[in-house]
Amino acid sequence: MLQAFAETTRLLYVSEDLDETLLRVTTLATQTIEGCEVASLTMKEGSGLVTRAATGDLAVTCDRIQYEEGEGPCLDAALHEGLVHTRDKASDDRWPRFSRRVSEEAGAGGMLSCQISVGDVKGSRALGGLNMYATRPDAYSDADQLLATLYAAHAAVIIDAARREVQLREAMASRDVIGQAKGILMAQDGVTADDAFSQLRLASQRLNVKLRDLASEVVSRRQGEASGAPPSTDTP
């Protein structure tokens, strides 16, 4: 278990890709939790839930059925409860529609779902759920459930940190390209930095495009002009 914790922590320093981090978290779950044959990560995106990583088709199929039916262990764990355990997902009457379809499309087997959440002074914030699937019933002992809860709590910190890192890199890239676009407009139109930003903002609203995307177009247009390509007429 300590080795799994050390490995998930190391993910922050060896991977700059969020999807790779998520996949390695699920892979480590199969190596850490006894009985877990395949695993997936259900993540909140907008108003819905999506599978962002999975180690096998069984996990993908079971996740999909739960999203389509609007019920199941991973939804309960991700949205409401910390840990949801079912001895046999194909016969558990807590989720009749899910159980019926999963028995037809995926077969019997135990399942564990643990909420992925992080906390701060304002309380806890759910990011999604870690789902662990088995092809045999009664696959998870009480000790496995405790271990899965501890692993999910540690993974949540890693996932949250990785997401924040991605957001930071995107924000820095956005600031850089907007700065380049402002510089181009300042040189082109002889305006101040504030006026150049106002031009970009107003054009962004008029064209109904994101400011960063518009700034990228301004930069690309200037690069195209430098290479002899015809200029676009849709940007400032």
What is the CATH classification number for the domain harbouring 103?
A: 3.30.450.40
pLDDT of residue 86: 94
**Which value, in Å, is the radius of gyration of the alpha carbons in the chain?**
24
Q: What is the pLDDT of residue 129?
A: 94
Per-residue model confidence (pLDDT) at position 12: 47
Confidence of residue 8 (pLDDT cuts 50, 70, 90): low
The pLDDT value given to residue 149: 92
My answer on whether 106 and 153 are in the same domain is yes
Asked whether residue 234 is domain-assigned, the answer is no
In a domain, 187, yes or no: yes
The answer to whether residues 19 and 68 belong to one domain is yes
Say if residue 94 is in the same domain as residue 6.
Answer: yes
The answer to the question of residue 54 being in a domain is yes
AA identity, residue 77: A
User: Does residue 233 fall inside a structural domain?
Assistant: no
Lowest average pLDDT, out of 7-16, 24-33, 155-164, goes to 7-16
Query: Based on the domain organization, do 190 and 158 belong to the same domain?
Result: no
Q: What pLDDT sits at residue 15?
A: 57
Count up the domains in the chain and report the number: 2
Same domain, 30 and 140: yes
> Which of the two residues, 11 and 80, has the higher pLDDT score?
80
> Beta partners for 42?
51, 129
Residue 231 has pLDDT above 80, yes or no: no
* SS (HEC) of 138-206: CCCCHHHHHHHHHHHHHHHHHHHHHHHHHHHHHHHHHHHHHHHHHHHHHHHHCCCHHHHHHHHHHHHHH
**Residue 235 in domain:** no
Containing domain of residue 204, as a range?
168-227
Average pLDDT over residues 186-200: 84
DSSP bridge partners of 99: none
Lowest mean pLDDT among 13-27, 47-61, 117-131, 190-204: 117-131
Distance, in Å, from the CA atom of 222 to the CA atom of 68, rounded to the nearest integer, reads 47
The confidence score (pLDDT) of residue 102 equals 92
pLDDT in tens, 56-95: 999 999 999 999 999 999 999 998 888 999 999 888 999 9
Is residue 182 located within the same domain as residue 221? yes
Residue 232 within a domain: no
User: Are 135 and 206 members of one domain?
Assistant: no
| pLDDT higher at 137 or 233 | 137
Give the domain CATH number at 203: 1.10.10.10
Higher pLDDT, 193 or 234: 193
If asked whether residues 20 and 34 sit together in one domain, one would say yes
Same-domain check for residues 156 and 100: yes
In the prediction, which pLDDT does 141 show? 94
**Same domain, residue pair 217 and 135:** no
Lowest mean pLDDT, pick from 12-21, 60-69, 106-115:
12-21
In a domain, 236, yes or no: no
**104 and 133 assigned to the same domain:** yes
